[in-house]
């Protein structure tokens, strides 16, 4: 436990899939008036420096978001343009020096969405953000980051178990009046095998407590039976609860090592991942179908590459 540090992986292909999906879901949910409870059960440190340290050691952002941004035409639109605009918002120096220094994690992506001008009541966001992280160092970094955010009174960050917090936070309270709405990102590191079962239980329990919440689950596609079965089990859980679902995957394929060019065989060991969304906003599937071909074209490394977006409809 706690050997996983997201800083090694920030901005990789899995983050690109996860954060494109998150941005698309947030956009549609926050387009409607009425406050929303945003919950990040496994928040990480919240913000990552790409220029040095862990990100530079792994090189995953270079093979991920940096390669994607370099390949994106000016004319890119939809989710890809929104992703680029989000990254630009956290990197004001980027247009001049061309260096992406900061990669925003899911806490900053959610906070950014809830503090767009149309979500503010005066200077204060109507929405609430709850962040959980268990790692001793990353939770400390996260708590400091959260305390400095513009809408910090609407943000609660804690060193806590995200699965337990989700149970306690659902159903969301109708703060500020109006309808109750919630979006939760469940993004464990799957360091411990029991995470797969905990994710299933968390989604099942969340649907029992608050059937209309938008629940996003990230998972790795690896040669482990539990990982392979997770989307199938989540489909069953959603179907039994009578809820729609969306399932998106991105596989960058396997780079082959060439004699004399050993680096070609290096790179991220995780090749593929998936996002499962219960109660997806209707336009999300088409938005992902429009974005993922360009993501794959930029990040693909070899055989096995591909993307998929399937829905219950
Ligand atoms: N959601 C983040 C993002 O997209 O920027 C990345 C999160 S990372 C994949 C998973 C995090 O979950 C790690 O930082 C790990 O320390 C943390 N973690 C592991 N088990 C946890 C638990 N039960 N509750 C809360 N956090 C946990």
- Nearest atom in ligand 1 to 44's CA: 14
Which protein residues touch ligand 1 with a CB less than 6 Å away? Answer: 4, 6, 18, 40, 42-44, 105-106, 132-135, 138, 161-163, 187-189
- Taking CA 106 as the corner, what is the angle to CA 102 and CA 112, rounded to the nearest 5 degrees? 75
CA pair distance 13, 55, nearest whole angstrom: 13
Point out the least confidently predicted range of 50-54, 136-140, 159-163, 215-219: 50-54
Compute CA distances 270 → 9, 215, 273, whole Å.
10, 23, 8
Mean pLDDT of the chain: 92
Q: Which of 188, 196, 220, 275 to mutate to test the pocket of ligand 1 (most atoms within 8 A of CB)?
A: 188
Grouping H, G, I as helix, E, B as strand and the rest as coil, residue 38 is: strand
Residue 218 in this model has a pLDDT that exceeds 80? yes
Point out the least confidently predicted range of 17-21, 69-73, 152-156, 258-262: 258-262
Q: Which position has the token pair 């890809």?
A: 80
- Please answer whether residues 47 and 139 qualify as being in contact, where contact means their C-beta atoms are separated by less than 8 angstroms: no
Q: Is the dihedral of CA 228, 231, 235, 238 positive or negative?
A: positive
What is the widest separation between alpha-carbon atoms in the chain?
Answer: 65
pLDDT at site 126: 85
Residue nearest to ligand 1 atom 6, measured at CA: 44
- Adjacent-strand bridge partners of 133: 159
pLDDT at site 176: 57
Q: Which of 15, 20, 114, 29 is nearest to 62 (CA)?
A: 15
CA pair distance 121, 127, nearest whole angstrom: 10
Residue nearest to ligand 1 atom 16, measured at CA: 135
pLDDT at site 296: 98
pLDDT at site 42: 98
Share of the chain above pLDDT 90, in %: 78
Residue 258 in this model has a pLDDT that exceeds 60? no
pLDDT at site 257: 58
pTM: 0.95
Backbone Cα Rg of the chain: 19
pLDDT bin (cut points 50, 70, 90) of residue 203 is very high
Q: Which helix (H) or strand (E) holds 307?
A: strand 306-311
Query: Dihedral, CA atoms, 64, 47, 81, 20, nearest 10 degrees?
Result: 70
Q: Which of 244, 243, 163 is nearest to 200 (CA)?
A: 163
Q: How far is the CA of 43 from the centre of ligand 1 (A)?
A: 5
Could you report the per-residue pLDDT of 120-130, keeping only the tens digit for each? Answer: 887 778 899 99
- Please answer whether residues 20 and 288 qualify as being in contact, where contact means their C-beta atoms are separated by less than 8 angstroms: yes
| Distance, C-alpha 61 to centroid of its chain | 15
pLDDT at site 33: 86
**Of 121, 187, 195, 205, which residue is the catalytic one?**
187
- What's the distance, Cα to Cα, between the start and end of the chain in Å? 38
pLDDT at site 260: 46
- Taking CA 313 as the corner, what is the angle to CA 195 and CA 25, rounded to the nearest 5 degrees? 55
Grouping H, G, I as helix, E, B as strand and the rest as coil, residue 48 is: strand
Q: Which of 132, 118, 116, 145 is nearest to 43 (CA)?
A: 132
Look at strands 272-278 and 182-186 and give their pairing: unpaired
CATH of 6-311, one of 3.40.630.30, 3.40.50.150, 3.30.450.80, 3.40.50.880: 3.40.50.150
Compute CA distances 196 → 125, 162, 240, whole Å.
34, 14, 19
Residue 208 in this model has a pLDDT that exceeds 90? yes
Tokens of 182: 């919630």
Residues 127-146, mean pLDDT to the nearest whole number: 97
Residue 262 in this model has a pLDDT that exceeds 90? no
Residue 261 in this model has a pLDDT that exceeds 60? no
pLDDT at site 51: 82
Known active-site residue 187:
yes
CA pair distance 67, 60, nearest whole angstrom: 10
- Taking CA 91 as the corner, what is the angle to CA 89 and CA 94, rounded to the nearest 5 degrees? 115
Tokens of 98: 């061309």
């Amino acid at each position: 436990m706690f050997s996983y540090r997201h800083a090694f992986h920030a901005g990789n292909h899995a983050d690109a899939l996860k954060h494109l999906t998150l941005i698309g879901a947030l956009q549609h949910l926050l387009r409607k008036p009425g406050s929303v409870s945003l919950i990040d059960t496994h928040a990480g440190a919240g913000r990552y420096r790409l220029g040095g340290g862990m990100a530079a050691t792994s090189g995953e952002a270079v093979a991920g978001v940096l390669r994607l941004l370099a390949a994106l035409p000016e004319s890119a639109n939809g989710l890809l343009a929104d992703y680029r605009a989000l990254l630009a918002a956290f990197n004001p120096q980027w247009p001049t020096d061309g260096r992406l220094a900061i990669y925003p994690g899911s806490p900053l992506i959610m906070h950014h969405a809830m503090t767009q001008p149309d979500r503010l009541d005066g200077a204060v966001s109507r929405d609430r953000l709850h962040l959980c992280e268990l790692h001793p160092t990353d939770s400390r970094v996260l708590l400091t980051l959260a305390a400095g955010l513009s809408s910090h009174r609407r943000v609660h960050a804690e060193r806590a178990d995200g699965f337990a917090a989700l149970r306690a936070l659902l159903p969301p309270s109708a703060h500020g009046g109006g309808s109750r709405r919630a979006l939760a990102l469940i993004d464990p590191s799957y360091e411990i095998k029991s995470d797969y079962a905990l994710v299933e239980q968390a989604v099942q329990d969340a649907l029992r407590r608050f059937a209309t919440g938008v629940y996003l689950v990230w998972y790795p596609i690896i040669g482990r039976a539990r990982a392979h079965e997770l989307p199938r089990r989540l489909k069953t859980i959603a179907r039994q609860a009578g809820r729609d679902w969306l399932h998106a995957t991105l596989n960058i394929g396997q780079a082959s090592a060439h004699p004399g060019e050993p680096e070609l065989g290096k790179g991220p060991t995780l090749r593929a991942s998936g996002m499962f969304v219960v109660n997806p906003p209707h336009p999300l599937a088409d938005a992902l179908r429009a974005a993922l071909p360009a993501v794959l074209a930029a990040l693909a490394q070899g055989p096995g590459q591909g993307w998929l977006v399937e829905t219950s409809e």
